[in-house]
Amino acid sequence: MSMSKIRTVTKRLFSKHLLATNTVTSCTLLCIGDSVIQHIERLDNPGATFNYHRAGRMLSMGFLFGPVSHGWYKVLDRFLPGTALRTVVRKILADQLVAGPFFCSAFFMGMSLLEGKTVKQGFDEVKSNFITVYMIDWCVWPPAQFINFFFLPPQFRVVYVSTITLLWNCFLSWMKHREHHDHAA
């Protein structure tokens, strides 16, 4: 494939098909994040097999997170346009105070429901993980979002965040499945 063709396809993916690109990216990186953690878990337990259902649940969460992230960044850019330092700080605060709690809660609730647990069990899981995850969220995401809002054009925001999210997803997968680690130990 020529460089010209790659540029044309890339341009189309990040303009005409941006929602689909963001959703597929989110799904893929959630699955990869869990796969990395499962690989690490198997180093401690060589007899363990890869859990495709677990990876599939992580992938499934991307069908929520991709479109919601896509819409969230459009709303932020509409109501807080530009890249002035004051605007970037406002976007980061909005992201931390609105999106952070939503995504943290939605992840644990969604994963619990996909595992067949009850809504109450999902709320219990949110309660047991929320503070830890949200506090670490404050350490990771403000610097990452500064780069996002200050330097990147809007069409690359979800892909950039999804890339940072690859590491974040490893952390979320570990937090979500750490009772598995505790039982294995």
Domain membership of residue 139 (yes or no) is yes
Helix (H, G, I), strand (E, B), or coil: what is residue 59? helix
Residue 147 falls inside a structural domain = yes
Residue 180, in any domain of the structure: yes
Question: Which residue intervals of the chain are DSSP H helices?
Answer: 3-13, 18-44, 52-79, 85-94, 100-114, 119-151, 157-176, 178-184
Q: How far apart are alpha carbons 71 and 91 in whole angstroms?
A: 14
What is the model's pLDDT at position 22? 86
6 within some domain: no
Question: How far from chain centre, in Å, is Cα 69?
Answer: 9
Residue 4 falls within a domain, yes or no? no
| Sequence-separated (6 or more) residues with CB below 8 Å from residue 100 | 134, 137, 138, 141
In 3D space, the residue among 69, 123, 116 whose CA is nearest the CA of residue 95 turns out to be 69
pLDDT tens-digit series, residues 97-148? 999 999 999 999 999 999 999 999 999 999 999 999 999 999 999 999 999 8
At 185 the pLDDT is: 46
In a domain, 3, yes or no: no
Domain count, the chain: 1
Under 8 Å between Cβ of 129 and 108: yes
136 within a domain of the structure (yes/no):
yes
Range of the domain at 116: 18-184
Mean pLDDT, range 23-45, rounded to an integer: 91
Read off the pLDDT of each residue in 6-32 and give the average, rounded to a whole number. Answer: 81
Share the mean pLDDT of the chain.
89
Q: Is a pLDDT exceeding 70 seen at residue 184?
A: no
Q: What angle do CA 7, 10, 14 make, to 5 degrees?
A: 140
What would the pLDDT profile of 45-59 be if each residue is shown by its tens digit? 888 999 999 999 999
Q: Is residue 1 part of a domain?
A: no
Q: Is a pLDDT exceeding 90 seen at residue 8? A: no
